Structures are given as structure tokens and as C-alpha cells.
Amino acid sequence: MSKIAILGLGTVGTGVAKVVAENSRQIERRLGEPLSVKAILVRHFQEGPWRQLMTDDFDKIEQDQEIRVVVETIGGVGAAYEYTKRALSAGKHVVTANKQLVAEKGCELLELARRKNVNYLFEASVGGGIPVLHPMTQCLSANRIDEVYGILNGTTNYILTRMVRTGSFFSDALREAQAKGYAEADPSADVNGTDAGRKICILADLAFGRQVRPEDVPLEGISRLSLRDVKVAGRAGYRIKLLGRAIRLSGGGRTAYVAPHLVPEDHPLANVEDVYNAVMVRGNATGEVMFYGKGAGELPTASACVSDVIEALEHNGRREDIGWTEDPEGFVDPLEVQTRFYFRIEGSLTDAALAFGQVEVLSEDGETGFLTERISGHEARELSRNLNVLACLRVLG
């Protein structure tokens, strides 16, 4: 019998315990032996079905030779970082859904896992239950991945969906998301783009093989998005989506950022709604491949964690060859990348044309909404500096 420990008994930790118990037959068929939870690390003991497994002493887990895999569901980079290092150093595989820890410390932890000949796996850190990291590193390994982008946060996607469907203002849609449990009481990490930023870092690290540091990735969220722009975009055949993007540039450079985009309504991402996520991977051989599903939640995320547990145990004694080098050089400011831009200005079409030359007009009723030709972000800033800009968004494509 293979035995694991769970660190933390919040939403994901509880889900892992449930999946191991409820899907025991399927897991045993895959592993060839039963899988059980031997210990659950908690700060405060509580009554429930796993009360007899609870401990507040990580030393017991670290020193227990029967525990082969540690599932870290604590979150953050404090205790989770310390316990992960100790578990790997003790020769135990570690599985996590902790996107912040992987984005900030993944390179170091993967190197420690390599030295100890164990696995550090984190499929659940991006997209919850959507299998995307393993397909990127295994199924698409014959490709040079040129771009990864997508809807990486379900909370913001739900808010934008409500703004489109019902004409809700951002504040009203946010309150609805909080009432349904889709948004935290403090939603800043979601609506400001921090959550999506951590995920795009992980995707970029795996796609390009070199570290993209979270502090280098510009983040633009949706808190300042106007319902006016949602309506203008919709009438013109676009949907506004918050996207994380990582792009391989000519000359070996790379860039990544998070920002709202106008997405053409015939693009697959335009119809990804509510709390669903979708990731597009563009390989030089396959073209674009899309991964779609629920990006969060107790059981979807737990499913990805338990799949990683099985993966680690099946490859016991030999490591999954994943990782990236700690090489921040070659990261390019995304403002150097060319794209079309959407502007809404307080002014006339003449004002827009004088600043940008040829433009595509989307609305003209006291305020002018228009699309530019392909220009860099630096050019967009410079050309618009004498305009009264009410909104500026990138256009996908």
C-alpha cells in the first residue's frame, strides 16, 4: 500500500482526501496497489471524518518512511516553502496546487527534487482540473512552443460574462460572484491580475525552459473596465476577456503579461464563459491546441493533485524530466510587442485620425471608440499622449 500525507485541510486538501477515498478502486487499478492518506497536517484539530489522521507536527510526516508523497495545499510561500524543501530533502515526492510557490520558487524546488531523485509536480497550479502542464511537457514535446495564452482566472471570467449577458456594472457583477462563492471577500488577487500572472509565469517557464519572474510580468486587471467598453466591443463583434499571454520572440527573447483584450467573437476563447478557464498552446508543428474546463474548485483541483500523486508513484525511482533554468536574461518588455489597440477617447474621429492615421471606428457619439493598426505599446502611449483617453485595451490577433 502506498501512503501519502496532506498538508492543510482547506478546500483543496479536503478534496484530495475525498478523491483518494471515493475513487479508491480506480486508483488501485492504476497503481496496482491501494493508496491511502496516513497523515493530515493541520494547525487546529477539528472533528470530522479525518480527525484520527490529523497532526500538528510536521516532523512526524518528515520522518515517516511509509509516507512516499506529500501533497502541499497550504498555499503561499511561508510554511509551504519550508515544508516542501524538507519533504523533498527527506526523499519524498511533493505534489502541489500552490501557484505562488511554483511561480516564485519552482526553479529552486525542481533542482532540489532533481538532486534527491524525486518528483515535484504541480499540474493543479494552473487550470485546476484542466490537464495542461503535462500535455505541454510530454504530448507536445516534439514542438517548439511559440505562444501560450488564455483565460486563467475563473472569477474575472465570471464577472466579465455577467457584464456581457446582463449589462451589470463591474461592482454589481463582483458582488454577485462573491455571493456565489466564486470570489473571495478580498478579490484583489483575481481582479488585479495577480492570480493569472502567477499562472502565466508557470506556463512560460515550461514553454520556454527559462524562468519568467512574477515581478517582471506587468499586470492589468479588470477593476477599471467600463461597461461602456464591453458594449462597444460587443456591437463590433468582440468579447472582452482577461488574458495571460507568454510569447516567444524572434531572436530568442520572450515576454509575458496579463491584460484585458478584445477577442473576436469567432475565436474559441470568446465563448469561454462563467468560471471556466481555457489555455491555448501554439506549437510550430501542431498549430494551436486548446485546453478547456473548470479552473478551480474542490474536486477538479483535487483530481489534478491525485493524478500527480499517481504519476509520482508510477515513476518512483526515476524523475519526470520537467524544469527550467534560472535565467532572467532575454525577458522583453511586452510594450515592445506589436498588436492592434482599442481606444475610447473623449474627442472626435478627426482627433483619432490625427494621432494614429488610419483607424477603424467602432463608435462615435461624443466619445470615439476605434481600433488602431498594429503598433507597439510604446507607440500607442506616445501617439495617444495628447488625447483624452478613457480606455485602452489590446486586441487579440
Residue 211's contacts (CB-CB under 8 Å, 6 or more residues apart) are 107, 205, 324, 325, 326, 327, 328
Architecture of domain 337-395: 2-Layer Sandwich (3.30)
What is the model's pLDDT at position 368?
A: 96
- The CATH code belonging to domain 2-129+298-314 is 3.40.50.720
Name the percent of the chain lying above pLDDT 70.
Answer: 99
Residue 291: how many other CB atoms lie within 10 Å: 18
Arithmetic mean of pLDDT, 69-75 = 97
The residue whose grid cell reads 518528515 is 62
pLDDT tens string 22-33: 999 999 999 999
The residue whose grid cell reads 501560450 is 148
Closest CA to 71 of 126, 142, 5: 5
Q: Which residue has the higher pLDDT, 323 or 243?
A: 243
Rounded Cα distance between 225 and 160, Å, is 9
What is the model's pLDDT at position 295?
A: 81
Q: Is the pLDDT of residue 266 over 90?
A: yes
What is the model's pLDDT at position 47?
A: 87
Contact in structure between 2 and 281 (CB atoms under 8 Å): no
Strand-pair category, 93-96 with 120-121: parallel
Q: What is the mean pLDDT of the chain?
A: 94
What is the model's pLDDT at position 317?
A: 64
For residue 212, give the C-alpha cell. Answer: 519568467
Q: Is the pLDDT of residue 329 over 90?
A: no
Q: Which residue has the higher pLDDT, 295 or 362?
A: 362
Q: Which residue has the higher pLDDT, 113 or 297?
A: 113
HSE at residue 43, side-chain half, CA atoms within 13 A, is 5
Q: Is the pLDDT of residue 306 over 70?
A: yes
Q: How confident is the model at residue 315 (pLDDT cuts 50, 70, 90)?
A: confident
Cross-strand partners of 376: 338
pTM of the model: 0.94
Which residues are catalytically annotated? 199
What is the model's pLDDT at position 101?
A: 98
Rounded Cα distance between 146 and 343, Å, is 28
Same fold, 133-294 and 337-395: no
Q: Is the pLDDT of residue 250 over 90?
A: no
Arithmetic mean of pLDDT, 131-145 = 91
pLDDT tens string 337-395: 999 999 999 999 999 999 999 999 999 888 999 999 999 999 999 999 999 999 999 99
Q: Which residue has the higher pLDDT, 182 or 315?
A: 182
Contact in structure between 7 and 73 (CB atoms under 8 Å): yes
What is the model's pLDDT at position 320?
A: 64
pLDDT tens string 139-183: 898 999 999 999 999 999 999 999 999 999 999 999 999 998 888
What is the model's pLDDT at position 150?
A: 98
Dihedral sign computed on CA atoms, order 55, 61, 64, 68: positive
Q: Is the pLDDT of residue 319 over 80?
A: no
* Domain ranges across the chain: 2-129+298-314, 133-294, 337-395
What's the CATH superfamily of 133-294?
Answer: Dihydrodipicolinate Reductase; domain 2 (3.30.360.10)
Q: Is the pLDDT of residue 71 over 70?
A: yes
